[in-house]
Every structure is written in C-alpha cells, then in structure tokens.
Amino acid sequence: MEPLKGFTVLSTALNIPGPVAVCRLRELGAKVIKVEPPAGDPLEALAPSWYRELTEGQEILRLDLKTPEGQGHLADRLADVDLLLTSQRPSSLSRMGLDPQEVLSRHPRLLHVMMVGYGPGREEEAGHDLTYVAQLGLVKPPTLPRTLLADLAGAQRAVQEALALFLSRERQILKRQAVVSLQEAARLWAAPWRWGLTAPDGLLGGAYPLYRFYRAQDGWVAVAALEEKFARRICQEMAVDPGLLLQRETWPEVERALAEGFLQRSVEEWEAWAREVDIPLTGVGKGQEAAEGSSPPPATRSKGG
C-alpha cells in the first residue's frame, strides 16, 4: 500500500533525522527529492551502506544553496512539491533562500516540516543527539549510547507531522507548517526513565529479577518474564518458589537462584527451551544483523544548478 502516492517531498535535511524521515515517507509512496550541498551528505562518508539504504529510490539533487543560481534552481523545483522538510536552523534557512514564511507565501500549496534541535525560543541553539540525551539523563558517562535515540525519535515525529499536514490539507484545515524539536522528541522517549520505571531501582531497571540479564555458560541471556504465567514457568524450571516474587524484600533471593540456574546451560540451549515453553528470553546480540550485506540500488543523482 502506498497512501502517499502522488505526493512529492523535497528535503534539504542532512545527516540522520531528516534522511530517516524521508526514507519512511518514500516507503509510504511519496516521491522524494533530496537536496545535498556540492560535497554531499556527511552521512555518505560516515556510513555509506546506511546512506545508500536511506536514499534508495530517491532523486539526489546537488545544489549550492549559498549561491543565487542554486537558490533559483531550488525555487523552481518547489513549484511542484507538496512538502518541504528541513533540518537547518531558521537563520541558515534564510541564508539558503528558504525563509519559512517567504517560501510558504510564494508556494500556496506547499507544506513545511522544520526540524530543529530545541523548541520555541531556542531554535538557534546548536545541539546533536548526544547533547539531547545527555541533558535528559539517558546516558552514563563515559559510555556512549549504542543508538541515536533523539535523531530517530525526531525522525518518527517528523513523519507523524508530515502525515498530519497532508491530512489537514486534504480536509482544508489551514495548517501548513510543523516544527519538530529533536530534544522534545527524545524527552517523550525518556518518560520511562523520568518516571522511575527504568531507574536502577525501578521495576524495569534491574530491580525485578525476571526482567534483567543473566550469564549463561557462553554468554548472556535477556529475560523479560513480567507476566505471571511466564514467571511461573521460569520458577518451575529453576526450582524457585514463585511466592518469593510477591515481596520486594525476597527478590534478591530469587535473583541469586536464577543467576546460578542460568549458568547451567548455553545461550542456545536456553533459547531453545524458551521457544518450547513460550518464554520471552533471548541471547544478547543474537539477532544483530551483519554490518555489511546486500546494497540497495543507487539513488538517482543530478547536479542541478
């Protein structure tokens, strides 16, 4: 299904949040034109395989938007575009000839999703994924996060806002612009931590013995047996009294018993057992895809102005 077939999206967004967002919009059927500076998107050099995956099926347009010629070429392309997605700060957009109010005034049917780091009043402040998640307490120095939570949360929010704008236009609702703050998007995803659920002493932060990691003979397993039926099956296998789970004071006793029990088998054996008795358990990193694999077809490139 391609609900966005017939819609055209033009993006000047570089690095990660914007490309992830427009990749999803293309999957939903939209035609995507990705505008890059003459040197290209930095992501292409940092993670070439991911870049190719994110730009599959898109037209890549290289333009120097610091020049009148580049800005003129972009203005011509915007005449046939439904949605403009940007990730530059407002002052940068103005220097690129993309002042939001002027662009929307010149193109009455155009919609605009503007991605910024911080929310109202702080749009000009610099930031990146690490600074947003650090501010929210989602990292523990010096270990860096294994994913880019704020970037991906912001990409998801940008897709949601784009769909809302498309729907608004179809319903003749006069809303043409949405601002997506990466820091605010990450704050929503930080709610479990903020409310204590994943804090060190929280139920999902390591306190509950049936929601945590355990060593096996040859690695680690992740156990997420929150429901009573799962808990009873594990307790039965480990010869643990399930009644000990009813009181927080006895959770350490359960943890010690499980730690000893899981050491008796390999990760593969525990996974096979979990599938047999229907337990949410997996080896850590077992499902990680290889970093190198089949590459998608290259994007369509054009130099432009």
What local confidence, expressed as pLDDT, does residue 294 receive? 44
Report, in this order, helix, strand and coil percent for the chain, each rounded to 5.
Answer: 45, 15, 40
Same-domain check for residues 173 and 216: no
Same-domain check for residues 13 and 105: yes
User: Within a domain: residue 299?
Assistant: no
Q: Rounded to whole angstroms, how far apart are CA atoms 32 and 169?
A: 19
Same-domain check for residues 99 and 17: yes
User: What are the tokens at 125?
Assistant: 């402040």
Same-domain check for residues 154 and 53: yes
User: Within a domain: residue 292?
Assistant: no
pLDDT band at 139 (very low <50, low <70, confident <90, very high): very high
What local confidence, expressed as pLDDT, does residue 304 receive? 62
Q: Enter the pTM of the model.
A: 0.88
Non-local CB neighbours of 233 within 8 Å, separated by 6+ positions: 225, 277, 278, 279
Structurally, how many domains does the chain consist of?
A: 2
Residue 301 pLDDT > 90 = no
Q: Rounded to whole angstroms, how far apart are CA atoms 148 and 189?
A: 12
Same-domain check for residues 70 and 189: yes
Domain boundary among 193, 218, 238: 193
Q: Rounded to whole angstroms, how far apart are CA atoms 286 and 156?
A: 26
Same-domain check for residues 17 and 42: yes
User: What are the tokens at 87?
Assistant: 């990730």
Structure confidence by residue, pLDDT tens digits, 2-37: 999 999 999 999 999 999 999 999 999 999 999 999
- Give me the percent of the chain exceeding a pLDDT of 70: 93
Same-domain check for residues 153 and 243: no
CB atoms near residue 269 (< 10 Å): 14
Residue 77 pLDDT > 90 = yes
Q: What is the DSSP string of 75-110?
A: HHHHTT-SEEEE-S-HHHHHHTT--HHHHHHH-TT-
Query: What are the angstrom distances between the C-alpha of 107 and each of 78, 101, 141?
Result: 8, 10, 47
Same-domain check for residues 144 and 267: no
User: Within a domain: residue 303?
Assistant: no
User: Within a domain: residue 171?
Assistant: yes
Provide the residue range defining the domain that includes 254: 203-283
Same-domain check for residues 233 and 187: no
User: Within a domain: residue 168?
Assistant: yes
Same-domain check for residues 84 and 216: no
Structure confidence by residue, pLDDT tens digits, 82-102: 999 999 999 999 999 999 999
Mean pLDDT of the chain, nearest integer: 93
What local confidence, expressed as pLDDT, does residue 1 receive? 79
Residue 54 pLDDT > 80 = yes
Query: Taking residues 249-269, what's their average pLDDT?
Result: 97
Same-domain check for residues 163 and 78: yes
CA angle 184, 189, 192 (to 5 degrees): 125
What local confidence, expressed as pLDDT, does residue 285 receive? 84
User: Within a domain: residue 291?
Assistant: no
Residue 289 pLDDT > 50 = no
The enclosing domain of 143 has a CATH number of 3.40.50.10540
Question: Residue 63: what residue type?
Answer: L
- Collapse the DSSP code of 169 into the 3-class scheme (helix H, G, I; strand E, B; otherwise coil) and give the result: helix
